[in-house]
């Protein structure tokens, strides 16, 4: 293999030019709000000697950024939903500005072995679906453009002209493991043409759905490392791709580690001397007892509290006031620092052991709150472009508090919101009118992107079930009456195989005409 014939001076000159270009990009209106733990020289040194990054992701990201900023200025919002089907995406172009590719949907429909939303599919699963969807968007854009240009200018105003290139927002889950796998996933997303991905703070492989236990999050430091890794990969590629920072801390019940003192305030410990929870559960299982009941009884005996709650339980009012006054002199206090302060301000000894409640998988028990979610969101904000607090339970006061508190720190922050979970609005105290106005009330707080992630499960299942019943009972007569006749009668005709402009018939023939030397456009 021959050596590169380049002078050292030329190499350094090219490097300095790369550094200058990176610094210019980072100071642009699009990226000026981002704060990185590294400098432009570091990123320049990590780049290839040629630009090998496709431009589509940046093009779509800039388009999405403009859409979101416009919504923020106008107090409006984008309402989209999740799908993995290119045909569905082609219809979304008529009503939605964006498309969402959900990891949960991919886990059901785009893998060899489907399963519940454990994010246990290969790390390149969602990027591959994004690539499939984006290529379908390009095809629809191409066949529509060709069909329009085969008509003279004066007739084009009457033709359909949809924006099929809706920016794609995709689910990056928790990054799928190590720093390098997160980097590779981010790169695949950019290569696929994504406009924005979201990364969350959930623990890998610890989701449970039917045993009455909540979510498990990782320490704040690990969450931020995930975001830094994605940001670094985007920067290495020179991509404008947006990063959506999602916090799943709300209603989480466990945390994997207590390595980060920022999380210590919310970790639960036993305030009574009891045997470890895991030992109680092992005995209960051997005796054939119901583990849910045993776990609940153990919690009652243990007197689970945060350390601050444990202090308050034994301290006098004046002692607790002195304790909190000292704790609040710094934004974050470790457990050891809190113990030391308590020893100086409270007469009674405080028994608190956060090891006793640990699960058989090693998780610590965690008491989530809006304050905890806000702190994570604020810490993550400088690394990303949009913030999403996953709040499955529709507690309006919590939703308002979260978005208000974050905007006290970052007044122009853009937010996303997902309609996940059961959302039993009646039980949560919402009136029908409040439910009706919810998207627009959220928009007033800067929630510019709202998504129903899993319509393609519940929604499509209902439609398929209804048609399956119709077909089984009535056959072609039912199809012609309820599907084909209305589809052909509406103006414009419903998109389908019979509509040659939509299914690509004209585009296919245009290729033959071009090869034959015929003209395919009208002036």
Q: Are strands 252-255 and 78-81 parallel, antiparallel or unpaired?
A: unpaired
Alpha-carbon gap, residue 397 to 451, rounded angstroms: 20
pLDDT band at 212 (very low <50, low <70, confident <90, very high): low
User: What SS3 class is residue 43?
Assistant: helix
Backbone phi and psi for residue 388, each to the nearest 5 degrees, phi listed first: -135, 115
Is the pLDDT at 205 greater than 90? The verdict is: no
| Residue located via tokens 């993995």 | 84
* pLDDT of the residue at 164: 98
Q: What is the pLDDT of residues 3-49, one digit of tens each?
A: 878 889 999 999 999 999 999 999 999 999 999 999 999 999 999 99
Q: How confident is the model at residue 114 (pLDDT cuts 50, 70, 90)?
A: confident
CA distance 51 to 60: 18
User: In this predicted structure, what is the pLDDT of residue 298?
Assistant: 96
CB 156 within 8 A of CB 18: no
CB atoms within 10 A of CB 344: 9
Location of structure tokens 């001397």? 273
Given a cut of 90, is residue 497 above it in pLDDT?
A: no
- 448 three-class SS: strand
Q: What percent of the chain has pLDDT over 90?
A: 84
Q: What single DSSP character describes residue 374?
A: H
Tokens of 185: 């996933």
In the structure encoding, which two tokens stand for residue 284, read together?
Answer: 């209960």
Alpha helices (runs of H) in 220-266, residue ranges in sequence order: 220-237
Distance CA 319, CA 110 (A): 59
- In angstroms, the CA 147 to CA 143 distance is 6
Would you place residue 507 in the very low, low, confident or very high pLDDT band (cuts 50, 70, 90)? very high
pLDDT attached to residue 204: 86
Give the single-character DSSP code of 115. -
pTM exceeding the 0.75 threshold for the entire prediction: yes
pLDDT at residue 426, as a whole number: 83
Angle at 358 between CA 352 and CA 359, to 5 degrees: 160
pLDDT band at 522 (very low <50, low <70, confident <90, very high): confident
Cα 382 from Cα 249, distance rounded (Å): 18
- Structure confidence by residue, pLDDT tens digits, 386-398: 999 998 778 999 9
Average pLDDT of the segment spanning 147-159? 94
Residues, the chain = 523
CA-CA distance, 86 to 134, in Å (whole number)? 8
171 labelled binding-site residue: yes
Strands (E), 64-180: 78-81, 99-101, 168-171
Residue 464: pLDDT above 80?
A: yes
């Amino acid at each position: 293999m021959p050596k590169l014939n380049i002078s050292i001076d030329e190499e350094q000159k090219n490097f300095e030019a790369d550094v200058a270009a990176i610094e210019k990009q980072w100071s642009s209106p699009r990226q000026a709000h981002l704060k990185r733990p590294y400098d432009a020289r570091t990123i320049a040194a990590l780049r290839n000697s040629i630009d090998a990054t496709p431009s589509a992701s940046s093009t779509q990201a800039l388009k999405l950024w403009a859409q979101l900023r416009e919504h923020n200025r106008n107090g409006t919002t984008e309402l989209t939903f999740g799908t993995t089907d290119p045909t569905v995406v082609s219809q979304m172009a008529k009503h939605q500005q964006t498309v969402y590719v959900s990891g949960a949907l991919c886990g059901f429909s785009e893998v060899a072995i489907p399963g519940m939303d454990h994010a246990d599919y290969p790390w390149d699963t969602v990027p591959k679906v994004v690539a499939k969807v984006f290529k379908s968007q390009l095809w629809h854009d191409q066949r529509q453009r060709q069909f329009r240009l085969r008509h003279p200018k004066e007739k084009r105003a009457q033709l359909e002209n949809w924006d099929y290139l809706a920016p794609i927002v995709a689910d990056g889950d928790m990054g799928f493991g190590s720093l390098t796998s997160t980097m590779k996933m981010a790169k695949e997303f950019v290569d696929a043409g994504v406009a924005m991905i979201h990364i969350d703070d959930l623990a890998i492989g610890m989701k449970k759905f039917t045993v009455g236990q909540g979510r498990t999050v990782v320490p704040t430091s690990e969450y931020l490392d995930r975001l830094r890794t994605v940001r670094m990969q985007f920067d290495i590629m020179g991509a404008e791709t947006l990063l959506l920072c999602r916090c799943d801390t709300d209603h989480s019940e466990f945390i994997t580690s207590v390595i980060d003192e920022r999380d210590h305030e919310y970790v639960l410990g036993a305030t009574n001397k009891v045997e470890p929870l895991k030992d109680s559960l092992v005995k209960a299982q051997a005796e054939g007892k119901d583990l849910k009941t045993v776990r609940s009884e153990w919690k009652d005996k243990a007197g689970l509290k945060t350390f601050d709650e444990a202090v308050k339980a034994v301290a006098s009012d004046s002692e607790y006031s002195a304790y909190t006054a000292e704790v609040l002199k710094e934004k974050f206090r470790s457990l050891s620092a809190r113990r030391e302060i308590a020893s100086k301000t409270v007469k009674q000894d405080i028994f608190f052991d956060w090891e006793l409640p640990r699960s058989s998988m090693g998780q610590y028990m965690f008491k989530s709150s809006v304050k905890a979610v806000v702190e994570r969101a604020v810490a993550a904000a400088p690394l990303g472009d949009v913030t999403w607090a996953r709040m499955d339970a529709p507690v309006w006061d919590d939703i308002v508090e979260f978005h208000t508190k974050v905007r006290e720190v970052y007044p122009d922050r853009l937010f996303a919101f997902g309609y996940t979970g059961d959302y039993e609005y009646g039980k949560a105290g919402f009136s029908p009118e409040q439910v009706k106005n919810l998207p627009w009330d959220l928009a007033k707080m800067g929630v510019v992107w709202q998504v129903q992630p899993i319509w393609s499960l519940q929604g499509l299942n209902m439609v398929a079930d209804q048609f399956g019943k119709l077909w089984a009972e009535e056959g072609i007569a039912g199809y012609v009456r309820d599907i084909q006749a209305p589809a052909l009668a509406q103006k414009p005709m419903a998109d389908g195989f019979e509509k040659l402009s939509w299914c690509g018939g004209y585009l296919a023939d245009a290729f033959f005409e071009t090869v034959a030397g015929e003209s395919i456009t009208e002036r």
